[in-house]
């Protein structure tokens, strides 16, 4: 069975505010590590 690469943008700033789809990728309680990276 061959894996499949998916390229996506899980969050972004839009004219209607910030939209996040991170919770649809992996629930926070199932994550082994969480990295918070903030840009300015």
Give the domain ranges of the chain: 1-29
The pLDDT tens digits for 1-39 are 688 887 878 888 999 998 888 888 888 888 898 888 887
Least Cα distance to 37 among 16, 27, 22 occurs for 22
CA–CA distance, 17 with 27 (Å, rounded to integer): 22
pLDDT at position 17: 92
Question: Model-level pTM?
Answer: 0.42
Contact residues for 25 (Cβ-Cβ < 8 A; gap 6+): 10
Cβ–Cβ contacts within 10 Å for residue 19, how many?
Answer: 11
């Amino acid at each position: 069975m061959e894996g499949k690469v998916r390229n996506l943008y899980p969050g972004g700033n839009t004219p209607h505010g910030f939209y996040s789809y991170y919770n649809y990728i992996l629930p926070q309680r199932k994550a082994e590590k969480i990295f918070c990276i903030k840009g300015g």
